[in-house]
Homo-oligomer: A and B are copies of this chain.
Amino acid sequence: MKAIEKPLIILNFKCYGESIGSNAIRLAKIAERVSEGTGLTIVVAPTFVDLQRVASEVSIPVFAQHIDPIDLGSHTGFIPPEAVKEAGALGTLLNHSERRLLLADVDAAVSRAKVIGLQTCVCSNNASVSAAAAALNPSMVAVEPPELIGSGKSVSKTKPEVVASTVKLIRDVNDEALILCGAGITTGEDARAAIKLGTDGVLLASAFTKATDPAKVLRELANAIKGR
């Protein structure tokens, strides 16, 4: 599996009908082709149920949408980090706006992931939460103002000050974590704006998974990030 190099795009498949089951494979293969064509790192994050199949069918990095901060053991209905790793995932999203975690559990999940060799992308809803997340030393932090998620209005163009202050506050506490932004990212222009604001990439969901032509949308984003 390819390593993660910046800049990058993370595609969150969420639980859309358009991106579960066989559709997850189809979309992951599109992402793989665009990654190969553009040379950009593209990560796909399918549902838990599709994780193993997707990871076995594409060579781009696969992330889980969440892991639980647990060791293997007596847990029913949980997502053990080891199972995600064994299924072939390279990392995981954490604390997405739709799946917020206890502060102590973000910390525990990031630590556990590090121990077993999973990367982590902690999502946040604003600049101060981004700084707090960065203080926990995850691989990446992705800021996503919840009111813009799925809105088609990109955070990078609608609320550039949120992205800029996020980058600043994160860098005050953490020099290494990659910084992404998400919420409403749809066009190449949105992605270019994100990079100009100092981020290392973007996180998106419906603009790709529900697109009439997902390959075209993704290629435009990747080219914009590559500066073409």
Chain A interface (Cβ within 8 Å of chain B)? 12, 14-17, 20-21, 47-53, 64-66, 70, 72-80, 82-84, 86-87, 93, 95-107, 111, 124-126, 128-129, 131-137, 149-150, 169, 172-173, 205-206
How many monomers of this protein are in the complex?
A: 4
With contacts A15-B70, A173-B172 known, is A104 near B77, CB below 8 A? no
Contact of A48 among B72, B79, B128 (CB under 8 A): B79
Contact of A76 among B66, B102, B134 (CB under 8 A): B66
In contact, B14 and A79 (Cβ under 8 angstroms): no
Output the nearest chain B residue to A21 by Cβ-Cβ distance: B86
A15-B74, A49-B49, A76-B97 provided; 6 other pairs, C-beta below 8 A? A15-B72, A52-B53, A74-B206, A103-B106, A103-B132, A132-B132
Give the distance to chain B from A43, nearest Cβ to Cβ, in Å: 14
In contact, A133 and B14 (Cβ under 8 angstroms): no
When chains A and B are docked, how far (Å) is the Cα of A175 from the Cα of B74? 32
